[in-house]
Amino acid sequence: MVINFVYTACSSLCPLTTARLARIADRLGDRLGRDVFFYSISVDPERDFPEALKSFSSAFHDGPGWKFLTGKPEDMAKIYYALGNRSRELSGHMNDLILGNAGSGEWSRNSIFSEEDTLLLEINALDHSADPTPAQSVSGSDFLPIPETGEHLFGKLCAPCHTIGVGPRVGPDLLDVSGRRSAEWLAAFIKKPSDFHMRHDPMAEELAQDFPNVRMPDLRLGDADVADLIIYVDSVSRRVNGIVASADAGAGEAAHHETHNHQN
C-alpha cells in the first residue's frame, strides 16, 4: 500500500503531490486495486467531508484501488500519530509517502518527488509477486543526479498536471501557451501564482473556474528555472505543431490524389 496525507483547501503542495501519485497510478495499470492500494488521508477532517474529498479526488483518479479517507477528528488524530504525522499545522503535515506491506510487516518512506522509476522500484520491492523492474526500463544512469534542465523540471513539477499538445489533464494543456499569454504574465504566474489569485487577476480567475478542484502551487522557482521551463514548452510546442502540419499536408496530398484518380 501507498499512503499520503492531503487536505482539499491546500493551495501549495497537495495538488502537485497528488498529481504525481496519479502518474504512478497510471503506470501501475490494473495492478492498482489488485496488488497495490493507495490511501490519501485528509489532515483536515473538520472541513474535508466525503463530498469535498470526492470532488478533489475526481480531478486526479476515477478508478479502483485509490481511496481518499476522512473521519471523526478524534479517530483521525490516532491515525496521524500512528503513521508519524505529528504536525499540528495543516501546512506542516508530512509530505512523504508511506510504503508498506501489512502481510510481511515491511514499511518505508519515500519522497513524492523521487524519480518515478525509483518510486516504482520501491513499490515493486514490497509486492513480492511483482516484477521488480518498473513498467519502463531503468538504466544505471537513471540513479545519477539529473541536472535541473527545463525538460527535467517539467517532468518533475509540471507533467503531473499538464500536457503539451495532448489535452487537459489536471490542469490546462500548455501547447502554444507563450502565444496565448504575454511573456511577463507567464513568467510571473509560473513563479508565484498565489499573487495572481490574491489580486483576482482575470486570467487566473478564468483558470480557477475551468479547473476548480486544483490550483497551481507556488513552486519557489528562480528566474532561470522559469525561463528554462518556458523555453522547453515552446520547443515541444513547435515540435508538436510541426508533426500536426506534416500530417495535415499528407492528408491533403492523399485527398488530392484520390480526387484526381476519380476524375480520370
Q: Is the pLDDT reported for residue 142 higher than 60?
A: no
Q: Are residues 188 and 101 in the same domain?
A: no
Query: Where is mean pLDDT largest: 160-174, 229-243, 250-264?
Result: 229-243
pTM: 0.63
In a domain, 264, yes or no: no
Q: Are residues 198 and 132 in the same domain?
A: no
Rounded Cα distance, 77 and 7, in Å: 14
The percentage of residues in the chain with a pLDDT greater than 90, rounded to a whole number, is 39
For residue 144, what is the DSSP state? S
Q: Is the pLDDT reported for residue 70 higher than 70?
A: yes
Q: Are residues 46 and 135 in the same domain?
A: yes
Four-residue CA torsion sign, 195, 199, 201, 207: positive
What kind and span of H or E run contains 107?
strand 106-110
Rounded Cα distance, 121 and 106, in Å: 15
Q: Are residues 110 and 10 in the same domain?
A: yes
Q: Mean pLDDT across the stretch 164-192?
A: 91
> What pLDDT, on a 0 to 100 scale, did the predictor assign at position 39?
95
Mean pLDDT of the chain: 83
Q: Are residues 137 and 154 in the same domain?
A: no
**Structural domain total, the chain:** 2
Q: Are residues 174 and 136 in the same domain?
A: no
> What pLDDT, on a 0 to 100 scale, did the predictor assign at position 264?
59
Query: Where is mean pLDDT largest: 101-105, 145-149, 158-162, 184-188?
Result: 184-188
Q: Is the pLDDT reported for residue 139 higher than 60?
A: no
Select from 120, 143, 166 the last residue of a domain.
143
In a domain, 111, yes or no: yes
Cβ-Cβ contacts under 8 Å for 119 (sequence gap 6 or more): 24, 97, 110
Q: Is the pLDDT reported for residue 198 higher than 50?
A: yes
In which domain, by residue range, is 230 found? 150-259
Q: Are residues 135 and 10 in the same domain?
A: yes
For residue 100, what is the DSSP state? E
Nearest to 215 by CA among 181, 156, 171, 173: 171
Q: Are residues 41 and 103 in the same domain?
A: yes
Q: Mean pLDDT across the stretch 123-145?
A: 58
Q: Are residues 136 and 154 in the same domain?
A: no
CB atoms within 10 A of CB 36: 22
Q: Mean pLDDT across the stretch 232-255?
A: 80
Q: Mean pLDDT across the stretch 153-173?
A: 84
- Band the pLDDT of 259: cuts 50, 70, 90: low
